[in-house]
Structure 1
Amino acid sequence: MASTPHPTRRKKTVVGAAALAAGAAVLGVFATAQAADATPTARHTAHAARTPYVINHYGEENADKGHAERSPKNLVLSEFTSIGSVHWKQWGTKKAVGTGKVTGSWCLDTCLDKPLKATVTLSDPKNVHGRQVFSSFTLKLAGKPGPYDVEDLHGKRPLATS
């Protein structure tokens, strides 16, 4: 003869099963939320791995060898030109664009004490020693370039890559 479960035991079993199902649902939502959170991080990490550096010779410690950086505050563009107080508006996989204050050996009489406002664009990433680095820059002075007839102010120029 089959025994019939007691009504109170049956309610406890149903309530227990419902609680387990609700707990599993909560854990499922939590796991899904964690996976969703992980996706942007993975995308960010992959994007960062492809984002180029710039080889910067700014400062005594970097003068000879240079140092790979992203979004540096000060940047040596060439042996004649540097840009400081740079505010980077974009640093992507194809180009970087920032505004700052330019000085150079070509304007020491006027721009050493009063640097010229300019926009710099880094471009043409190349693979150097297994690392992507920007290999060109374009510099555009704000307003009129004045009396400065300098190579660094005319079109795309090469940038140090090592």
Structure 2
Amino acid sequence: MNTSSNRRRSAVTAAAVAVLGLGTVSAWASNASAGETDGMVNTNPYVLNLYGEENADHGDAQRTPRNLVLSEFTSLNKVDWKQWGKGKAVGTADVTGNWCLETCQEKPLRGKVTLSDPKEVGGEMYYSSFTLKLAPGSGHYESEDLNRKHALPTP
């Protein structure tokens, strides 16, 4: 099949996904592991994920990770990404942290995370900030992660 046919097929597939409501993450993000689609470079940012790392000095560049370490204080599990694009990523997740050990280790809190402020690092774009808002009824916690925008690690 030629490139023009591939592009038409991709456009039709993306349109069908949008019309059928089969996903809210863009077609680019769902094909993130490939890095390219029909010869076009994927421009959606990565997030540096330290999940599962024994040493916090390196991590994996990922898009739409299911589990994500936001900081040394806070981690997300079972992330459901609603948006992953050039400017920001938004999702809901189970939230755990060292600021709520007794409460959220056995019964994680729910929260909404926004990744933002993409910046170029080594020729790739990475989200460099996050905000986290706990769902109503989660309680009040004294933690810097819950009060304002924070920096995300980047390579």
Do the structures match in fold with TM over 0.5? yes
DSSP-derived class of the 1:110 partner: helix
Q: Deviations over 1:72-121 (max 9, x none)?
A: 00000001000100010110010000100000000001100001000100
Q: In the TM superposition, what is the alpha-carbon distance from 1:133 to its structure 2 partner? A: 0.2
DSSP-derived class of the 2:127 partner: strand
Q: In the TM superposition, what is the alpha-carbon distance from 1:35 to its structure 2 partner? A: 2.0
The answer to whether residue 31 in structure 2 is matched with residue 38 in structure 1 is no
* Whole-angstrom CA distance in 2 between matches of 1:132 and 1:40: 27
DSSP-derived class of the 2:100 partner: helix
- Within-5 A mapping of 1:7-156: 35-38=4-7, 41=10, 45=37, 49-60=42-53, 63-156=56-149
Aligned-residue sequence identity (percent) comes to 56
C-alpha RMSD of matched pairs (Å): 2.5
Which amino acid counterpart does residue 46 of structure 2 have in structure 1?
A: Y
Which amino acid counterpart does residue 141 of structure 1 have in structure 2?
A: L
* Whole-angstrom CA distance in 2 between matches of 1:92 and 1:138: 16
Which amino acid counterpart does residue 81 of structure 1 have in structure 2?
A: T
* Whole-angstrom CA distance in 2 between matches of 1:69 and 1:107: 27
Q: In the TM superposition, what is the alpha-carbon distance from 1:64 to its structure 2 partner? A: 3.4
User: Larger C-alpha radius of gyration, 1 or 2?
Assistant: 1
- Using structure 1 for the length normalisation, give the TM-score: 0.72
In structure 1, runs of 5+ residues without a counterpart are 1-29
* Whole-angstrom CA distance in 2 between matches of 1:71 and 1:52: 10
Q: In the TM superposition, what is the alpha-carbon distance from 1:146 to its structure 2 partner? A: 1.4
- Using structure 2 for the length normalisation, give the TM-score: 0.75
* Whole-angstrom CA distance in 2 between matches of 1:62 and 1:97: 27
* Whole-angstrom CA distance in 1 between matches of 2:55 and 2:8: 36
Q: Is the 8 A contact 2:49 2:69 kept in 1?
A: yes
The count of aligned residue pairs is 131
Which amino acid counterpart does residue 85 of structure 1 have in structure 2?
A: K
Which amino acid counterpart does residue 87 of structure 2 have in structure 1?
A: K
Q: In the TM superposition, what is the alpha-carbon distance from 1:41 to its structure 2 partner? A: 4.7
